[in-house]
Amino acid sequence: MPIHPIEERYGTDEMRAVWNEKNRFTCIVQVEIALAQAQAMQGLIPQTSADSIKQKAQKASLERAKAIEVEINHDMMAIVKTINEVCGDSGRWIHYGATSNDILDTATGLQLKQALNLFDAKLRLLLKVLLDRALETKTLVCIGRTHGQHGVPTTYGLRFAIWASEIGRHIERLEQLRPRVEVGQMTGAVGTQAAMGMKGIEVQITLMDILGLKSVDVSNQVIARDRYAEYFMFLANVATTLDKIGIELRSLQRTEIGEVEEPFGTKQVGSSTMPHKRNPIKSEQICGLARIVRSAVEPALGNNTLWDERDLTNSSCERILFPEASILTDHCIGLMTSVLRGLIINRAAIRRNLALLHGINMAESMMIELTKKGMNRQDAHEHVRVASMQALAEQRPLADVLSGDFDIIQFCSKKDIERLLSPDNYIGTSIHQVDGVIQKLSKFCINNN
């Protein structure tokens, strides 16, 4: 019976498969096999024994390892014994010169590589969706808001491009992260490699070459957890971007705004008591789960502050952090991709909201033009500010109030004022900015088919 929601409600099968106990066991066995190969290549054990281990170790059983662990209360040694049982005489060389975390942390490096491969592909797909929506809406003028209040116009294309740019930086961060977290070690009990003598460094390098991982420069009994902390901070950063997008979509779906709407199924139910409801539940889910992902950062940082050459306080913590944060982040990326791909854009509501203040939100455009035509910038600001406050108080179009100001109409005719208060004429370089983002980031995308 499932206990944690990541077992069935949240997450994808492929990311769950990275962090489940079967794959963990497989990665550990893979490291033990590669260790024997590396040691044989460096002349520490017979090649025939390494070949035998490679052939037989994969028959080791997770179930048998779990049964042994019940008896000896040591998970890594239980796996060593399990592999030894299936390898015959060559089993004497299993785990030779290694300590538990040489194997466990290197196995984590393999899992992190698998996870980052999935994140990379899914972020690139999300980026493709965002760039497609940016291109589609690059000329769609809408009201911009600051402090929750109407400001000057912007475009939906610019909004999508800003989010795309952020996802693009996450893809760059992922690539920069790989050599620091896709790592392994083979340094022995406290990091001196004493059990393998002067061949220790060569064994470690050879082992990581076999596994396709980077080799630590130096370590004690465990890989320094600043590496893993960076991974969790990356996940938190990605989740926060999705949270940011989700909050904006939720705000824009408010009844009184109504500019966008999450895709809503024909049989979908919004409320158990209010039949009319169409709630942004997917965006809300993303925003909620982002809080859990961010909560992984503090314990991940704490896992780097171990006693002396190591203690075990990180171990129990990481058994929860790695699957939970990875699976939830993966889930949120996929969910946001689906939301954005099917997002409904209400162009009528966008035009309605643009005109809501009858031109008052276009005051900056008026001030800039007055300054260009010779009025002192500060005087222009004050004239337009006073006119805006009057228009608000009297619920009149700003154009009417401005047209009655003699100081203003000396510089701008009524026709000029109407043109300056048109939102479609005040979007600056937004279209060019969107085109620039699309051109820059399209190379990072993958197709969604």
Domains and CATH numbers, the chain: 10-45+96-261+278-351 (1.20.200.10), 360-420 (1.10.40.30)
pLDDT digits (tens, 9 = 90+) for 287-298: 999 999 999 999
**Is the per-residue pLDDT at 277 higher than 90?**
no
Q: Name the maximum alpha-carbon separation found in the chain.
A: 102
> How many angstroms separate the CA atoms of 173 and 170, rounded?
5
Indicate the burial class of 447 (C-beta count within 10 angstroms; 0-12, 13-18, 19 or more): exposed
| Contact predicate 18/111, CB 8 Å | yes
Higher pLDDT pick, 405 / 45: 45
DSSP letters for 356-423: TTTTGGGHHHHHHHHHHTT--HHHHHHHHHHHHHHHHHHT--HHHHHHT-HHHHTT--HHHHHHHT-G
Average pLDDT over residues 145-154: 95
- Please identify every residue annotated as catalytic: 147, 271
**Is the per-residue pLDDT at 449 higher than 70?**
no
pLDDT digits (tens, 9 = 90+) for 298-355: 999 999 999 988 888 888 999 999 999 999 999 999 999 999 999 999 999 999 999 9
- pLDDT for position 272: 66
Alpha helices, DSSP H, located in 20-155:
21-41, 47-56, 62-72, 75-87, 100-136
Least Cα distance to 115 among 298, 319, 328, 288 occurs for 328
| Contact predicate 345/259, CB 8 Å | yes
- pLDDT for position 299: 94
CA 370 from centre of chain: 45
Mean pLDDT, the chain, rounded, equals 94
Let me know the angle formed at the C-alpha of 47 by 42 and 53, rounded to the nearest 5 degrees.
110
Q: Is 141 helix (H, G, I), strand (E, B) or coil?
A: strand
> How many angstroms separate the CA atoms of 138 and 377, rounded?
31
**Is the per-residue pLDDT at 178 higher than 90?**
yes
Q: Which of 277-286, 317-326, 364-373, 439-448 has the highest mean pLDDT?
A: 317-326
- For a pLDDT cut of 70, what percent of the chain falls above it? 98
**Is the per-residue pLDDT at 1 higher than 90?**
no
Q: Which residue has tokens 């960076």?
A: 230
pLDDT digits (tens, 9 = 90+) for 107-133: 999 999 999 999 999 999 999 999 999
Q: Would you say the C-alpha torsion 352, 357, 358, 364 has a positive or negative sign?
A: negative
> How many angstroms separate the CA atoms of 166 and 96, rounded?
46
pLDDT digits (tens, 9 = 90+) for 205-256: 999 999 999 999 999 989 999 999 999 999 999 999 999 999 999 999 999 9
Alpha helices, DSSP H, located in 182-312:
200-211, 226-252, 281-294, 297-302
Contacts of 5 (CB under 8 A, 6+ apart): none
- pLDDT for position 445: 86
**Is the per-residue pLDDT at 202 higher than 90?**
yes
- pLDDT for position 313: 86
pLDDT digits (tens, 9 = 90+) for 67-108: 999 999 999 999 999 999 999 999 999 999 999 999 999 999
Average pLDDT over residues 254-264: 93
